[in-house]
């Protein structure tokens, strides 16, 4: 592994070194894949109102009208310690007494300016129950007098949005994270795109862009000025760039006597960036300031979740090995005089409690030689990884896109793997500027924009 010692004008040599160690036999296989496919995406820069058909297929709806919600009756069930609410549409929901008392919205229990609970757990009686329940004629609220002498009023719409049922829970889950729309090469024939100036000026365009990045994991921003500093301008519309030990942004350029792969004209194997961080960057941005004009320099992009689902279907035992086996990733170096030594352990395919894929950590270049796998299991793990890698590189799943100057590729670094086709140093300078966002910031901005668009 190369150890970066220099930094030039904010350029992250350390980061490049991480990429440099990725020179591998498998990179050649990716290159072959490129040559075989040669399906360069042609994007018209003038398509400002592009709506990706994949997104239109999304079933997610952020709008719930609560204006018609009213309570027709409410009665306590003391045995179950729950309040039964009868809605105007004859449906019913049960609300635990302890939850209702805990969530009293009065100024004594809840600070509205900071939206924080003031009521302390030690002041919440375990056996709390209502001694009187009242529903006014208009059915817009429910009033409760409690056994501890307190009283609460809840609005019907507030209660309805928090109902203990699956539809309310699903609505909430849809707000927390948009449902992912998985794609293969055929489905991603037209790449989703947005226009740089529109994103700076128009909230609707920005919302649609953030939705695409969350659902499809990918969007190409067109017509950004071809000079450094544009990632900062776009980021001002979202939140903050995520700083890593390589700085706020990094530069990808070929340089003479480069000591790392990304600083050369060589191909880069499919990878996620910085899997050696436990809190790895959620979203990656690569701004093309100038592109290599000859043959090569294209990026390879693949939806690793879609491919993992294929692996789960055809080789469930290999899929399981990749979800169960922890892989070590590491990165050691110096940036701006500060030494770093990052280590993270993650399975290649990381599942959530319900078995859905949460993240994929695939980077053959910074995968450590330290490996906690049982010796007897190790061959089978390699076999599974090779199967996964073969599928990831397959033209059925992977697409190539050659950025034009002014493009910014924005993609989900937990999901969309990226690579680069090699090129010769005879076709002009290739210059990219990269940066990262955290998913928390991106989703937060998307929720704010969604709420505002609901109001308008």
**Which residues bind to ligand OGA, rule: CB under 6 A?**
19, 252, 262, 268, 273, 299, 418, 420, 432
Question: Looking at the chain, how many residues does it have?
Answer: 456
Q: Are strands 193-195 and 218-222 parallel, antiparallel or unpaired?
A: parallel
Residue with tokens 């997610």: 60
Q: How far is the CB of 49 from ligand OGA (least distance, A)?
A: 28
- Choose from Zn ion, ligand OGA, none: what does 104 bind? Cβ within 5-8 Å by kind: Zn ion
DSSP string, 372-386: -S-HHHHHHHHHHHH
Q: How far is the CB of 438 from ligand OGA (least distance, A)?
A: 18
Query: Residue 109, interface with Zn ion (CB under 5 A)?
Result: yes
Q: How far is the CB of 65 from ligand OGA (least distance, A)?
A: 44
Q: Total number of residues binding Zn ion (CB under 5 A)?
A: 5
Burial of 108 (0-12, 13-18, 19+ CB in 10 A): exposed
Query: Residue 106, interface with Zn ion (CB under 5 A)?
Result: yes
Within 225-284, which residues bind Zn ion (CB under 5 A)? 273
| CA–CA gap between residue 29 and residue 194 (Å, rounded) | 32
- Choose from Zn ion, ligand OGA, none: what does 109 bind? Cβ within 5-8 Å by kind: Zn ion
Query: Residue 18, interface with Zn ion (CB under 5 A)?
Result: no
- Choose from Zn ion, ligand OGA, none: what does 420 bind? Cβ within 5-8 Å by kind: ligand OGA
Pick between residue 108 and residue 377 the one whose CB is nearest to Zn ion.
108
Pick between residue 108 and residue 424 the one whose CB is nearest to Zn ion.
108
Residue 333 φ/ψ, nearest 5 degrees: 175, -165
Residue with tokens 């009665």: 75
Pick between residue 19 and residue 392 the one whose CB is nearest to ligand OGA.
19
Burial of 53-88, coded b for 16+ CB within 10 Å and e otherwise, reads ebbeebebebebeeeebbbeebebeeeebbbebbbe
Q: Are 416 and 218 in contact (CB under 8 A)?
A: yes
- Choose from Zn ion, ligand OGA, none: what does 299 bind? Cβ within 5-8 Å by kind: ligand OGA
Query: Residue 17, interface with Zn ion (CB under 5 A)?
Result: no
Q: How many CA atoms lie within 13 A of 112 on its CB side?
A: 5
Compute the C-alpha angle 345/347/348, nearest 5°: 120
Pick between residue 50 and residue 95 the one whose CB is nearest to Zn ion.
95
Pick between residue 19 and residue 216 the one whose CB is nearest to ligand OGA.
19
Pick between residue 135 and residue 432 the one whose CB is nearest to Zn ion.
432
| CA–CA gap between residue 20 and residue 17 (Å, rounded) | 5
Pick between residue 82 and residue 301 the one whose CB is nearest to ligand OGA.
301
Residue 417 φ/ψ, nearest 5 degrees: -75, 145
Query: Residue 104, interface with Zn ion (CB under 5 A)?
Result: yes
- Choose from Zn ion, ligand OGA, none: what does 261 bind? Cβ within 5-8 Å by kind: none
Packing angle, helices 25-37 and 375-393, rounded to 10: 20
Pick between residue 212 and residue 273 the one whose CB is nearest to ligand OGA.
273
Largest CA distance in the chain: 84
Stretch that binds Zn ion, among 68-76, 104-112, 170-178, 189-197 (CB under 5 A): 104-112
| Binding-site ranges for Zn ion (CB under 5 A) | 104, 106, 108-109, 273
């Amino acid at each position: 592994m190369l150890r970066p010692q220099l930094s030039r004008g904010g350029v992250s040599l350390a980061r490049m070194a991480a990429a440099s160690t990725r020179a591998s036999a498998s990179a050649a296989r990716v290159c072959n894949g490129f040559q075989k496919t040669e399906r360069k995406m042609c994007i018209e820069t003038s398509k400002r109102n592009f709506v990706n058909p994949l997104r239109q297929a999304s079933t997610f709806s952020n709008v719930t009208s609560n204006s018609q919600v009213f309570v027709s009756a409410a009665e306590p069930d003391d045995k179950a310690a729950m309040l039964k609410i009868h809605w105007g549409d004859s449906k019913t929901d049960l609300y635990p007494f302890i939850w209702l008392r805990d969530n009293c919205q009065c100024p004594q229990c809840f600070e509205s300016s900071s939206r924080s609970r003031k009521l302390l757990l030690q002041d919440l009686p375990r056996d709390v129950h209502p001694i009187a329940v009242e529903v006014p004629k208009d059915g817009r609220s429910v009033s409760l007098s409690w056994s501890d002498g307190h009283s609460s009023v809840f609005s019907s719409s507030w209660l309805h949005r928090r109902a203990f049922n699956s539809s309310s829970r699903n609505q909430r889950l849809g707000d927390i994270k948009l449902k992912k729309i998985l794609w293969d090469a055929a489905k991603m024939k037209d790449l989703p795109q947005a226009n740089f100036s529109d994103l700076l000026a128009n909230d609707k365009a920005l919302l649609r862009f953030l939705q695409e990045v969350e659902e499809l994991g990918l969007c190409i921003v067109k017509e950004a000025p071809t000079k450094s500093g544009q990632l900062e301008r776009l980021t001002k519309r979202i939140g903050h760039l995520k700083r890593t030990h390589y700085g706020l942004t990094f530069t990808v350029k070929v340089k003479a006597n480069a000591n790392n792969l990304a600083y050369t004209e060589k191909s880069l194997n499919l990878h996620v960036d910085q899997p050696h961080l436990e809190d790895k960057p959620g979203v990656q941005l690569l701004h093309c300031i100038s592109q290599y004009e000859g043959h090569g320099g294209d990026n390879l992009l693949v939806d690793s979740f879609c491919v993992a689902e294929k692996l789960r279907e055809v080789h469930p035992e290999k899929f399981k090995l990749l979800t169960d086996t922890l892989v070590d990733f590491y990165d050691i170096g110096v940036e701006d005089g500060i030494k770093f030594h990052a280590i993270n352990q993650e399975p290649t395919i990381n599942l959530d409690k319900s078995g859905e894929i949460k993240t994929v950590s695939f980077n053959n270049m910074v995968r450590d030689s330290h490996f906690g796998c049982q010796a007897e299991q190790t061959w089978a793990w390699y076999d599974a990884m090779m199967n996964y890698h073969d599928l990831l590189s397959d033209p059925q799943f992977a697409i190539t896109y050659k950025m034009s100057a002014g493009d910014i590729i924005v993609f989900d670094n937990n999901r969309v793997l990226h690579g680069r086709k090699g090129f010769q140093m005879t076709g002009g300078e290739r210059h990219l500027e990269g940066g990262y966002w955290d998913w928390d910031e991106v989703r937060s901005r998307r929720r704010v924009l969604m709420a505002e668009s609901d109001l308008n």
